[in-house]
Structure 1
Amino acid sequence: MTLPLRRAGRSGLDLPAISLGLWQNFGETTARADRRRVLLHAVERGVVHLDLANNYGPPPFAAEEFVGDVLRSELRGRRDEIVLTTKAGYHAWPGRYGNGGSRKYLLASLDRSLRALGTDSVDVFYSHRFDPSTPLTETIGALAHAVRTGRARYAGISSYSARRTREALAVADDLGLPLTLHQSSYSVLNRWIEEPDDEGDSVLDVAERRGMGLVAFSPLAQGMLTTKYLDGVPADSRAATGVSLRPEYLSEANLTRIRALHAVARESGTSLPRLALRWVLRDPRVTTVLVGARTVDQLDDSLAALDDPPVSAAELDAIEAAVDSVEGDPGINLWASRSSDL
């Protein structure tokens, strides 16, 4: 099956409108049979962009090792159909050189990722976050080296603010390196990439001006934009563990917003996740959205968003009214203090 493709900025790279993010659900805490079922179903449905990072698991590299196993077995001979992306920037192994933005860490991590995946190159290698302790000339230089040596075909950055994106692009220009993709959290409850900085630029503005594709992760706000939390916190949910979805994110104000958005979805004859995905995909600057499905049914519901009509003006107004039904920012940008605020 072929899904709608979107061009990544002014590059030659096309990605399916919905891609599979392996941040959650693809480590050793999830049964291999369940991981295998979702991954193979995704590829057969046309979700051929698999987004990884060195710290995706648990433990680190576990998601990449799993994908590598499947590429050597069930997906043997199909590597060139698949867009494999990975990142380095967060903690991946003990010690000073298992974290950050240094050349030593980034390139050592990429080599470990390639071994885990069982491939000579990834399609995109990202700097996972801006590291204020390392010069951007070194971080972006490591990306350039990865591309020049054939270990990556494209380079990208993730969760960089508009200011840091401009700075990274300036360094990349000096090195002759195209930065093809910017990967950022983006949802109807987390809209930081729309906000202009002191120079009047948003991340979306900078990416559009420079021809970068935008990959939106956490379009469902780590599961908040589903019906999962309307009646409490399930024991097996992210909020129950407090790892990536902090309990305080499920404030009464945010639950009011989510319930109002759920009502908009029901009025439109769709599900809340499908409405949330259509909202992100309304912006032509967004190349693809990453979904982290735990089950085949969750993945199929997300893909059904592509069968729905584009978000209408009336729906947009209703969505804005739902979000604005409570004053204040939802405050759910988990990554802000570690990257996008810097």
Structure 2
Amino acid sequence: MYTASDNRYNNNSVRHAGSTGLMLPPISLGLWRHFGSADPLSERRKVILHAFDKGVFHFDVANHYGDGQTGFGTSEELLGQILKDDLKPYRDELVISTKAGYEIHDGPYGIGTSRKSLLQDIDDSLQRLNLDYVDIYYAHRYDDQTPIEETVRALDDIVRSGKALYVGVSNYEVPELKQAISLFKKLGTPFVLDQMSMNLLNDHVETSGLAKLLEDNGVGAIAYGPLCEGLLSDRYLNGITDDFNIHRTNTDLLDKGQDALVAKLNKLNDIAKNRDQTLSQMSLAWLLKDPVVASVIIGTTSVEHLDENLGALDNLKFSADEVSEIDGLIRG
């Protein structure tokens, strides 16, 4: 039987989602890839429980996750099994988030954020997760086929039903986010987070005005893909392999060619070495230097990689010279 480490909160600061009372660990664990039914439960269990032992109490999933090949929803099922068998005594310590909006089943209500889709999706997610409620429920994407008012009202009703404590949105840009924030405020909905693709090489959240909009309204940003599919590690310092699959939000990083990007990665790696950090650690620290960022969601199936990533928390400060040099590389 699993018993959590007594030291799980040692030296692990928490961060608030905007001006709200929701607290998150600086580094969270996401179950996007390789946490479906085709993956070994015992190995994934080891990573999830090790994360909790290290103070990672936020686990992020979505009803769409499961790689499709084994069936959408299987990542929720995997997490649900561990929540039931191992983490049930610690439920009050955990922050569990899930999302709806991408494909989950056949038919017109198997995708999108209509009222019907969201209300049935939350029930299905809770069943797979073996939970009575989730802590955060997201609209996974902006659905241009559904009025924002309908999506916002459905999310508000889900909170009022007790099936979620807080709500968020993901992949919303400034125009739709402005509208959603206004509607959430009118309803008094506990809207706390915008989950976006964010990494050291991709400053879209800042340059688009999203970060300022979130800050001005007391809402936090939470980063997915903070290591840019592994680009921000030592894996590609000698060249990018042909099978590398970059996320759609980062494709412009290759506009000047692979060689130029690899050269940039090596220059960033040199800065990281001077900070006694790996490139991955510096990349996570870079995002966390912004107070609007409530947490960064890493994805790993390795205990060793998890521990290395958590090492980022040992040095979150950047000198003015480091900021200037990194900014120059990002925008160069």
TM over 0.5, shorter chain: yes
1:196-227: CA deviations, max 9, x gaps? 4xxxxx11111111111211111111211011
Q: Does 1:292 align with 2:286?
A: no
Match of 1:39 among 39, 48, 51: 48
Give the conservation status (yes or no) of the 8 Å contact 1:240–1:247: no
Shift of 1:4: 1.0
Shift of 1:27: 1.4
CA distance in 1, matches of 2:253, 2:292: 28
* Residue identity matched to 2:32: W
Q: Does 1:228 align with 2:235?
A: yes
Match of 2:170 among 143, 146, 158: 158
Shift of 1:28: 2.9
Other structure's SS at 2:15 match: strand
- Number of positions where the alignment pairs a residue of Structure 1 with one of Structure 2: 316
Match of 2:85 among 49, 73, 87: 73
1:67-113: CA deviations, max 9, x gaps? 11011112231111110001111111111111111111111111111
CA distance in 2, matches of 1:302, 1:314: 24
In structure 2, what is the equivalent of residue 334 of structure 1?
A: none
Matches within 5 A, 1:256-275: 256-275=263-282
In structure 1, what is the equivalent of residue 288 of structure 2?
A: 281
Shift of 1:248: 8.6
* Residue identity matched to 2:212: D
CA distance in 2, matches of 1:192, 1:123: 27
* Residue identity matched to 2:153: G
Q: Does 1:22 align with 2:25?
A: no
Give the conservation status (yes or no) of the 8 Å contact 1:261–1:323: no
* Residue identity matched to 1:260: K
Give the conservation status (yes or no) of the 8 Å contact 2:222–2:293: yes
CA distance in 2, matches of 1:243, 1:193: 18
* Residue identity matched to 1:306: L
Give the conservation status (yes or no) of the 8 Å contact 2:28–2:60: yes
In structure 1, what is the equivalent of residue 326 of structure 2?
A: 319
Other structure's SS at 1:294 match: coil
- Cα 1:279–1:31 change in 2 (3 A) is same
Other structure's SS at 1:315 match: helix
Residue identity (%)? 39
In structure 2, what is the equivalent of residue 88 of structure 1?
A: 100
* Residue identity matched to 2:275: S
Superposed CA RMSD in Å reads 1.9
- Cα 1:243–1:60 change in 2 (3 A) is farther
- Cα 1:186–1:242 change in 2 (3 A) is closer
Q: Does 1:186 align with 2:198?
A: yes
Shift of 1:171: 1.7
TM-score normalised over the length of structure 1: 0.87
* Residue identity matched to 1:53: A
- Cα 1:241–1:30 change in 2 (3 A) is farther
Matches within 5 A, 1:4-23: 4-23=13-32
Gaps of 5+ in 1: 197-201, 326-342
Q: Does 1:100 align with 2:107?
A: no
Give the conservation status (yes or no) of the 8 Å contact 2:239–2:262: no
1:278-304: CA deviations, max 9, x gaps? 100011111111111220111101100
In structure 2, what is the equivalent of residue 307 of structure 1?
A: 314
* Residue identity matched to 1:87: K
* Residue identity matched to 2:56: V
In structure 2, what is the equivalent of residue 331 of structure 1?
A: none
* Residue identity matched to 1:149: S
Q: Does 1:254 align with 2:257?
A: no
In structure 2, what is the equivalent of residue 208 of structure 1?
A: 215
- Between stretches 313-322 and 82-91, larger displacement belongs to 313-322
* Residue identity matched to 1:231: N
* Residue identity matched to 2:27: I
* Residue identity matched to 1:113: S
Other structure's SS at 1:183 match: strand
Q: Does 1:53 align with 2:53?
A: no
TM-score normalised over the length of structure 2: 0.90
CA distance in 1, matches of 2:94, 2:50: 14
- Between stretches 186-195 and 22-31, larger displacement belongs to 22-31
